[in-house]
């Protein structure tokens, strides 16, 4: 059971990283300042989780 939990945990970190990359891509493509700010704010929890800070 612990092995399954560990695998699922790693998958969630991978999902968080992928979502983070998508947000960064959207940020790079964006030309609207409000959307840039929004993407930056939304990105924060994903970065903090992938880096295992929060």
- Which residues contribute to the site for another protein (CB under 8 A)? 1-2, 5, 8-9, 12, 27-28, 31, 33, 36-37, 40, 43-44, 47-49, 51-54
Smallest distance from the beta carbon of 50 to another protein, in angstroms? 11
Nearer residue to another protein within complex by CB, 9 or 21: 9
Q: Give the ranges where the chain is alpha helix by DSSP (H).
A: 2-29, 33-50
Which conformational region is residue 9 in: left (phi greater than 0), alpha (psi within -120 to 50 degrees), or beta?
alpha
Nearer residue to another protein within complex by CB, 12 or 18: 12
């Amino acid at each position: 059971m612990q092995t399954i939990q560990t695998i699922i945990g790693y998958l969630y970190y991978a999902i968080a990283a992928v979502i983070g990359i998508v947000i960064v891509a959207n940020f790079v493509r964006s030309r609207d300042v409000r959307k840039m700010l929004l993407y930056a704010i939304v990105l924060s929890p994903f970065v903090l989780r992938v880096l295992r800070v929060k």
